[in-house]
Structure 1
Amino acid sequence: MLTLADGNLPEVVSALRETLKIVSRTPVNIAVTGDSGNGMSSFINALRNIGHEGEASAPVGVLKTTQTCACYLSPHFPNVVLWDLPGTGCATESLENYLMEMQFSRYDFFIIIASEQFSMNHVMLAKSIEDMRKKFYIVWTKLDMDLDTSALPEGQLQQIIRENILENLQKKQVCEPPIFLVSSFEPLSYDFPKLRDTLRMDLIKNRCHDLLQNLSHTCEMAINDKATFLRKKITTQSLHDACGISDADDLAVCLKAYQLFFGVDDESLWQVAQRMGRTFTDYTNIMKSRDVQGLNKRDLRLTWMTCTVLRAFLSLLRYIPWLGDHIIHYFRRMKQIYLLEIVAKDTKTILRKVLEDSIIPQ
C-alpha cells in the first residue's frame, strides 16, 4: 500500500472508503429456511415491508405454498437477494438431501425460521450452516399467536422460548447465534426492528470481511517494513538521515519524528477524523504513544530506561574511554527502538480502528 508506505494515512482512508463503496454493491444471497409451515414466506414479506396480499409478495397459506426456490428483492436491503426455500421435508426425504438440493453452498447468509417448536431439523440446519462457517440467525415467528394462547407474561414467555432454542442447540454444540422473536404480522413490534438493524450491519460486515482481512494484513506488513527500515537506521546511527532527528537523546523529538514517519502525527489524525466523520479524540485516546510524559507514567520499561538513577549512571560512563561510549550508545539505541515499536503498534491500532469505522455507519 503505497500511501501508507509514504506515511500518508489520510490518503489511505480516502482510498479505503472508495474501495468500500464498490464492495458495498456486491450482491448478497440470503437463504430463508426452516420446517414446512413455519412461515418463511410470511417472514420474507414482513422483512420487505410488503403486505401478504401485495402483487410482489411471496405466496402464503396454511398449506405448504413454497415448492421450489423463489427469490425476492427489497429496496430496504439494496443488492440483497432473499431466497424463499421450500421447507425441510417438503421436497426431500432427508436433511442431507435437502442441503444438496437447495445448494446451500451458494448462499452467503442464512435465516432459520421456527415457530411452535424448535425441532431437530432446525438444530441440524444450524449445525450444517455453522460447519460451512457462514453466519445465520434464528427467527421465531408467530410470537403474537404464542402470546394469545399463553397465560404467561410476555417477558417470561420470550425467555422460555429463547432458553428452549439454546438448550437444543447446545445438544449439538452449536454456538449461540443471534435469536429474534417476531411476528410476521406485526413487523414493527417485538424483535423485528432490532432484526432489521442487526441484519443491515451484518450485511456490511459480510461484504467487507475478506477485503478488511486482506487490507489489515497488507497494512500491518507495510508498518512492519517501515519499522524494520527505521530500526536499521537506529542501529547504524543514521536517524538524522531517515527522520531528521538532530538530538537522538531527546525522546520527545524522537516520538514526534516517529509519529510523522508513520503518519499518526496530530495533523494527519485530524485529517483522518474529518474524513471518517469521527472526532480527533476517537483516535488519539487509543494511542499509547500520545506524548512522552504520559508514556513514561504508563510504561514501566520506558520509565526504567529514563529514570534518574540510570541517567546518572550513564553520565558517569562518559568518563570511561571507549567502553563508556559503547554502553551509552547501546542504551540510547535500546530506548529509540523500544519507542519505535510502541509507535508502530499504535499505528496498527489506529489502522484497525479506521478499518472498523469504515464499515460502521455513523
Structure 2
Amino acid sequence: MMLSWPRKLRMLGRSSTLLGPKVDSDLYSEERTRPRTFRKEQVLQRIRDYCLSNLTDIGVSEPRIFLISNFDLDAFDFPKLEETLLKELPGHKRHMFALLLPNISDASIELKKHFLQEKICLEALKSGAVSFIPFMPFISGFDLPQQEQCLKDYRSYFGLDDKSIKEIAERLETPLEDIKGQLKCLDFWSFVKDDSIIARARSAGGAFCSVKGGLGSSVVQALKVYYTRTQFLNVVVEDAKHLLRKMETVNIA
C-alpha cells in the first residue's frame, strides 16, 4: 500500500504528530483495491507503524500518532487528540480550544459547557464586586443588549448561529424553518419577558439595592448574572444535543 502520510505530517510539540484527512483516502483506496482482504484496523495500524518509523528515523522522541478523519471527526483518534491538547495546552489556550471544538459528541458539548460555566461564575463575581458601588449596576449592569449578545455568543460556541443552522438544515435536507422551530435558544424574548407580579417585585427590589449599593446590591447583581447566563447556556446545550441526535440519525442512515 502506498501511504501518502509522510508528506503531510504536522507536528504538535516535540513528541506529538497530527495526521490529516488522507486517512480517509488511504482506507478507501485499500478497500477498493483489496476488497477481500481489507481490514480497517489493520490498515490503520500499518499507517501508524509507518509514520512512527519515519518520525523515529528523523529524531522525533516518543512520537504520538493521531489519525483523524476529514468527514467524521468522532472516528479514529480525534477524541484522544482533544484530550491530549486539553491536558497540555496553557490555561487560556485550553479554554479557547475547548470552545472551538466541533459538536461531535455529548462529551464535547459538555466540555464546552463546563468551561463556560466556570466563566459564568467569574463574570458573576466580577459583576457583584462592581455593584458594591451605588448606582454602578445601572451603568455597567447586565442589561438587555448585553443579555442578547451573551445568548448569541453561546449559540456561536455551539454551532447554533444563523449560518450554521442553515448549513445543518441543508445537510439534513429539512426546511430551515422546521429546524428553527425545534430550537428554543432562538427566541431571546422568551427568556427575558416576564410580566408576573413576582418578576416585577424582584426587579423593583434589585433597583432599590442598586441605588444603595453595598453587599445587598452585590449579591443581587451576581445572582442575576449567574442565573441568566446559566439559563441561556443550559438551553443552548439542550438544543445542541438535539441537533447532534438528528445529525447522527442522518449519518447512520
What band does the TM-score fall into relative to the shorter chain? 0.3 to 0.5
Length-normalised TM-score, structure 2: 0.48
Question: TM-score, with normalisation over the residues of structure 1?
Answer: 0.34
Higher relative contact order, structure no. (Cα contacts within 8 Å, ≥ 6 residues apart): 2
Greater per-residue strand proportion: 1
Bigger share in helix: 2
Larger radius of gyration: 1
